Amino acid sequence: MEGVVTLVGQGLYMAFAAVAGLGIARVLKRDSTLGCLIAGVVAGMLLPIFNYDTGLRAENLHQLVFFVILPVLIFESAWKIDPIILIRWLGPILLLATVGVLICCLITAVLVYYGIHHPTGFPWIAAFLTGAILAATDPVCVVARLRDSGADDQLLTLVEGESLFNDAAAIVLFSFALGVASHSVMEGTVATGEPLSGFASFSLYFLTVFIGGLAVGTICGLLTAIVILFLKSAGAALMVLVLAAFGSFYLAEHVVGVSGILSVMVCAIIARSCLREQQDTYLSHAEPTWEWLGLFFNALIFVIMGLVITFEMFTHQWLAIIIAIAAALVARTVSVFLVSPFARFVGPPIPNSWRMILSWGGLRGVIAVALVLSLPTELPYWWTVQSMVFGVVLFSLLVQGTTSSRLIKKLGV
């Protein structure tokens, strides 16, 4: 019983810090994620004064991120997208989220590996892990600025949809790389500097978890819609939707053995598409509910980042952080401009101004932070990877996020 009370107290401490972060963001007139990061840092500084333990450990962060936080964030993002416009842009989105993500991951990995140039302390698999994490984008603040500027719904759907599918693909890459890295540690081969081998087996793995996740998500989405239509209650609909977010992830990840994140994403899209005529009846409270859930978990992730971030990361790993920032920017720009010309073969063409938005607006945010927080400390290079990702996320918040409005205005989108 005492353990449960302690757990509740720890949860409340972080939740209050998240609310304080939203208040800080309002006072500073900045993005909520930056306010929550500041609140997390302050909350971490207060821990020794209060002699309090948050209960956050590297071994339980992975479970918290993958079983609780990511399903809610992915479902909430997918629920906001208009299914009709999404279908129109599905070809270009899938092209950017598969070929584009793989190119971005590989370019980032190569630049980081040769930039750090320490094969024993930072092997290829560490660089690939970094590339997979930094391939995930979070366009929340850019989308908000696009909406404020009255941007076209087609552009909004492309940016949000690409980010959503992009995140799912990046998480699949991350899961694969983490499995290889963990196996290397157990086998005692972590110090090898050889590139990743077995491209055929990786391709088979990627296709299996990707297509399998889509299939499980489709089934869960259809079942969700059927149950909501049968129950005919707004309150029951919210219960079913929340259950679908966690249940579709668990079913895909632990029962079928495919991508749980893809399953959650497709479940939300299918369910909303099937229930579009119930937006003003059974689903009248769905949008505000997912909005506050998404806001809360976004805030929570950045509070946790603030709690675990240290000044030593920037004094000891400053060069690695600079290399990671440059690698992330170059990789994202190259992948977008390399893949975008082929969009016209699978859907509408992507204008050059939109490619600029996709490149500079490809901020690294909540998904990147969530993934890097889940790295096990058994990996000898986990702190280096975490420092680099935190540095890139801070650059995204402070530089890319604050300059995106000027870019949007200049491009006239």
- Tokens 């506050």 belong to 292
Distances in Å between the Cα of 317 and the Cα atoms of 156, 367, 381, 384, 396 are 36, 22, 12, 7, 18
Of 39-48, 143-152, 349-358, which range is least confident?
143-152
- Burial state string for 362-375 with b = 16 or more CB within 10 A and e = fewer than 16: bbbbbbbbbbbbbb
Determine the pLDDT at residue 370. 86
Q: Is the pLDDT of residue 22 over 80?
A: yes
Q: Is the pLDDT of residue 157 over 80?
A: yes
Determine the pLDDT at residue 56. 66
Query: Residue 106: pLDDT band by 50, 70, 90 thresholds?
Result: very high
Work out the average pLDDT over 117-143.
Answer: 86
Q: Is the pLDDT of residue 150 over 80?
A: no
Of 150-154, 178-182, 356-360, which range is least confident?
150-154
262-271 confidence digits (pLDDT tens)? 899 999 999 9
CA distance 263 to 218: 7
Classify residue 68 by burial, with Cβ atoms within 10 Å: 0-12, 13-18, 19+.
middle
Work out the average pLDDT over 387-404.
Answer: 90
CA distance 311 to 296: 26
Write down the mean pLDDT value for the chain. 86
Which residue stretches of 31-139 are H helix? 32-50, 58-64, 70-80, 83-95, 101-116, 124-134
- Residue 383 is which amino acid? W
Helix (H), strand (E) at residue 381: none
Which residue stretches of 117-198 are H helix? 124-134, 140-148, 153-187
Distances in Å between the Cα of 258 and the Cα atoms of 82, 139, 253, 400, 403 are 26, 26, 5, 34, 38
Work out the average pLDDT over 248-263.
Answer: 90
Residue 197, φ and ψ in degrees, nearest 5: -115, 175
Higher pLDDT, 404 or 393: 393
CA distance 321 to 314: 8
Query: Residue 413: pLDDT band by 50, 70, 90 thresholds?
Result: low
CA distance 155 to 348: 11
Q: Is the pLDDT of residue 248 over 90?
A: yes
**Which span out of 122-126, 277-281, 373-377 was modeled with the highest average pLDDT?**
122-126
Of 28-32, 81-85, 137-141, 217-221, which range is least confident?
137-141
Q: Tell me the CA end-to-end span of the chain in Å, nearest whole number.
A: 56
Q: Is the pLDDT of residue 195 over 50?
A: no
- Residue 89 is which amino acid? W
160: its two tokens: 């949000």
Nearest C-alpha neighbor of 328 from the set 285, 390, 271, 268: 390
Q: Which domains, from first to last, does the chain contain?
A: 1-55 (no CATH), 58-411 (1.20.1530.20)
Query: Residue 191: pLDDT band by 50, 70, 90 thresholds?
Result: very low
Q: Is the pLDDT of residue 48 over 90?
A: no
Determine the pLDDT at residue 189. 53
Q: Give the count of beta carbons closer than 10 Å to the beta carbon of residue 65.
A: 20
Indicate the DSSP class of residue 398. Answer: I
Nearest C-alpha neighbor of 62 from the set 287, 374, 377, 304: 374
Q: Is the pLDDT of residue 192 over 50?
A: no
- Percentage of the chain lying above the pLDDT 90 cut: 38
Measure CA 289 to chain center: 20
14: its two tokens: 């972080």
Of 182-186, 222-226, 406-410, which range is least confident?
182-186
Of 55-69, 221-235, 389-403, which range is least confident?
55-69
Q: Is the pLDDT of residue 185 over 80?
A: no
- In sequence order, the 6+-apart residues with CB closer than 8 A to the CB of 160 are 77, 80, 81, 139, 143
Determine the pLDDT at residue 193. 44
CB 390, CB 372: distance < 8 Å: yes
366-379 confidence digits (pLDDT tens)? 889 888 988 888 88
Q: Is the pLDDT of residue 196 over 70?
A: no
Work out the average pLDDT over 120-133.
Answer: 92
